[in-house]
Amino acid sequence: MKLTTIFASQLAALSSANPHFARQYQTEDPHAWIPQGSNDFRGPCPMLNTLTNHGYLPRDGRNLTKVNVVKGLTTGLNFNASLASIMWEQAIIANPEPNATFFTLDQLNVHNVLEHDASMSREDAAFGNNHVFDKTLFDTTRQFWTADPVTAQMLADGKLYRQIVSRSINPNYTFTTTTEQFSLGEVAAPIIAFGDIDKFTVPKNLIEYFFLNEKLPFELGWTQKTHVMSLEDITKVSQAIGNATNLFTGGDAQAAKLRRGDFHAGMF
């Protein structure tokens, strides 16, 4: 029997016994997009789900250690290591075990730990599933993306709308000042990953493709940034979103300052 035949039969046996193995090795490209399997974990964060679907993070959504999260964010989005470390440190609280060294995407689904009401693309926990993409809800967010490219103002308008709707219909609506900082980072994420961090814009086709597919938009011509993203970059874009949520007119700088707090890197 030829060696290739032996290898193929062994691979088939492993694939049959372990679907995670099958999905991981069915392509020569380690970062090819492979959708979630029936036993995989996914969470409320579309970017973490996307990086997982591409194999920058463990494809089963388990065992997200500091080492593999830092590697995933640095290779997938060109974050610097210190920024990626901050991201992991803010997410590890999702694991309730003392001195935890990993978290799973499923653990991120617990309400009001990192997941929160008024998501751009997920239903509030009070109404059911808070982590699976809801296109009908997402369409109410993107109705404010009225031009191309999408601006910080348009993203902020969608964020404000979701908060108003959530507060008006959800008797358990919760949105603290800490939640606000995470929310600003989440809304800024498409600009950070796919857009212009100086103009605070993002091509409309890229952001819609990302949300609708939980897939990096390589086939639309996108490539990872050559600029290594730092905490300062994230803070700058998050503050631009925060400024855009200010409903005052006349350049009221004090109002903008009042609504900004210490940055939380909870964008993913």
- Range(s) within the chain of domains with CATH label 1.10.489.10: 111-258
3-state secondary structure of 236: helix
Question: CA of 10: how far to CAs of 6, 14, 29, in Å?
Answer: 6, 6, 20
What does the pLDDT look like over 23-46, one tens digit per residue? 554 668 999 999 999 999 999 999
User: What pLDDT is attached to residue 175?
Assistant: 98
User: What pLDDT is attached to residue 16?
Assistant: 42
Is residue 204 within 8 A of residue 142, CB to CB? The reply is no
| Nearest by Cα to 266 from 131, 124, 86 | 86
CATH number of 111-258: 1.10.489.10
Is residue 69 within 8 A of residue 84, CB to CB? The reply is yes
Which parts of the chain register pLDDT below 70? 1-27, 251-268
User: What pLDDT is attached to residue 182?
Assistant: 94
User: What pLDDT is attached to residue 232?
Assistant: 98
User: What pLDDT is attached to residue 15?
Assistant: 44
User: What pLDDT is attached to residue 1?
Assistant: 46
